[in-house]
Each structure stands twice: as C-alpha cells, then as structure tokens.
Amino acid sequence: MTTVNIISLNKMYPNQPAPVLKDFSLSVMDGEMVALLGPSGMGKSTLLKLITGIERPDSGDIQFDGSSILGIEPNKRGAVLMFQKSYLFPFLNVEDNISFGLRVQGASSQTIRAEVKRMLDLISLPGIEKRKVGQLSGGEGQRVALARALVTNPKLLLLDEPLSNLDTEVRMNLQEVIRVIQRELGVTTIFVTHDLGEAMAMSDRMALLLNGEIVALDKPENLFHRPRSLAAARFMGVSTFLNGDKLTVKKEASAGASEKTFAIRPEHIRIQIEACKNSMQGVVSDCVFRGEYVEYQVAVGEMSVRARMPMPAPMFPHGEQVYVKFPSEHLFEVEN
C-alpha cells in the first residue's frame, strides 16, 4: 500500500535537443490507477525507467510513502513492470515464471505453490502451472505476466502499453481483468498508454502528457467533458474551436478574432438544412457512415468542422449547403 510522489523530475538525453521530462510532478494515491496518456516518444517510457531505476533522473525526486527511492537499488524498489510483450522467460514454465520473484526472495516451495495457485485463480487460468510459455496465446501470456508482476506484493505496478499488441476482443477483456485485479489487490498503478479509450476505461485519474509536461490531470469524465486548455481538449478529441466573447457566442457563433476561445465536442455539433440560432452556413466536404453514428466534415468559411451525429442521422452528398449548429449549452471555454 503505497503513495507515490514524483517531484520535479528532469531528464535529458545527451544527444537530444529537448529534455524528455521537464519539471515533471505527479502524485499517485494509495491503490489508485493513474493513466499517462500521450503520443509515443513523449517521455512516458522514460518515466517508467526512472521509477524502476534503470535510469537516473538529472534532478528531482521519486518518493514511495514519503521517502526517496533514488538511493535504492533497482531490484529492491518493489516497482514491477508489465510491457507490451509479456517477456515471460522462455526457458521456464508458467509456474516458474510466476514464482520468479518469490524464488529470488527465497520463499519456500510450499509458499510458492500456494501463491502461484492463488495468482492463477486470480487471472482465471487455473491449472496451467506446467504449461510451456510458448504454448500460451498473447492474452494468456499477458495475464501470466500480470500474475508474475503481482505475486511479490509490489509497492507499485507500472504498465507500459500492456495491451497494444492484442486483438480488440482480447484487449477489452484484459482491460477489465487488469482493472478488477488492480482494485482487488489495491496496488498503486501507473499505466502508460496512447489509447484514449483505454485510459478512460481503466484509470481513476488521467494525466495528459505533452513534450515532457503534464498539460492536464483529472478524472476521465471531467477531462472528457470539460478539458480546461486547448492542448487538453485536442487530446480528448475536440477539434472545433471558436473565437469570440461569451455573449456573442451565446447568441451567434462567430469565427472572428477575439480574446476568448470556446470549444465544442464533435458529437454535440448538429448539422441541418435549416438555419437557426447559433448556426453557421457551410458546405459538406465529407460524410461517412460509421454504423452507430455519421461523421461529417463541413467547411465553414476557412474552418473545417468535424461533427458526429448518432443514428438515425441524415446523409448529405458532397457539396451540399448545410447549417452547422453549435448548441450554446455545450460550448465551453478553454485557455489558449
């Protein structure tokens, strides 16, 4: 049961112009799962390396329960890793893989057998102790890797895109498995991903990472509905931003230059034939049927507006004159 504090971490690699991590701070509460979301190469994996001790930060501190772990050897920190690939040792069977950490600690063979059985029950793969690693499917491999990581009661579980190599169905299933086990054991977890849906489905809080800095940190639902900054909004799939002052926006959206910027989620924008309040005229440039919804691209003056309307929704031919409505109750202000 561990609270993790990451304080003003800085990390720069010798041959790179910009630092990978810039004054990076993050607190993870005991038993909490925090997702780090960001494009690849944004310092996410570096952070995990610093926490496990494979690399050292240039400055800053990492604390478990208030005391620094930077002076502790990597193999004594109690931070375990789960990667995209399972990295199960191919020369050991499932049981010996799961018990690797226990054996290193010198656990008795009785404890080992009992613990391996408990973990296998937990990951819903009972009775596969003697199976060879090569005989496991991708999803099974990741479950066993999870069991191997958690069997030693680690202080912190680090997940580095553990599901991105799996088929959609297996991935959905494993998201749930990991989430349930993480809650049940109450292990503090940092989860690195570039998949927005996965981050929202699994985490208690979500940190959006850009250029080595956290641009937003909040509960997934808050970030989704009301991202505070432009960068955060972009992350969360918002692509329509309008400038204007609040009163005129409320009455009539305009793309004119002004101090304030408002954003709206694509699923809140309405495309219609008739003009009405808060609407602007545009020309349909694309209209895609996606099954559960229709996606539109509409050119409004210089701006290209992306909108989504749930089925049933009208299909418009390319070049059709339409009105794009921005319902005022869904417009929210973002910092530039």
Where on the chain is the footprint of another protein (CB under 8 A)? 52-54, 74-81, 83, 85, 87, 89-91, 100-101, 104-105, 134, 148-149, 152
What DSSP character marks residue 42? S
Nearest to 214 by CA among 44, 14, 17: 44
Q: How far is the CB of 164 from another protein (least distance, A)?
A: 15
Reading the block at residue 293, the tokens are 């919804």
Evaluated on CA atoms 131, 135, 139, 142, the torsion sign reads: positive
What DSSP character marks residue 33? E
Instruction: Quote the Cα angle for 188-194-196, to 5°.
Output: 85
Q: Which of 105, 111 has the CB closer to another protein?
A: 105
Q: Which of 42, 158 has the CB closer to another protein?
A: 158
Instruction: Quote the Cα angle for 90-93-95, to 5°.
Output: 135
Q: Which of 72, 177 has the CB closer to another protein?
A: 72
Reading the block at residue 16, the tokens are 């790179």
Q: Which of 165, 229 has the CB closer to another protein?
A: 165
Helix (H) or strand (E) holding 59: strand 59-64
Q: How far is the CB of 1 from another protein (least distance, A)?
A: 18
Residue 205 and residue 37: Cα distance in Å, rounded? 11
Residue 25 and residue 66: Cα distance in Å, rounded? 14
Reading the block at residue 22, the tokens are 């810039």
Q: Which of 153, 248 has the CB closer to another protein?
A: 153
Query: Tokens 């924008």 identify what position?
Result: 269
Q: How far is the CB of 76 from another protein (least distance, A)?
A: 7
Helix ranges (H only) for 132-245 are 138-150, 168-185, 196-202, 220-225, 230-235
Q: How far is the CB of 103 from another protein (least distance, A)?
A: 9
Q: Which of 54, 114 has the CB closer to another protein?
A: 54
Reading the block at residue 325, the tokens are 């409505």
Q: Which of 28, 334 has the CB closer to another protein?
A: 28
Phi-psi region of 78 (alpha: psi -120 to 50; beta: other; left: phi over 0): left
Q: Which of 83, 326 has the CB closer to another protein?
A: 83
Whole-angstrom Cα Rg for the chain:
24
Q: What three-state secondary structure class fits 6?
A: strand
Q: How far is the CB of 64 from another protein (least distance, A)?
A: 14
Q: Which of 122, 156 has the CB closer to another protein?
A: 156
Answer whether 34's CB lies under 8 Å from 48's CB.
Answer: no
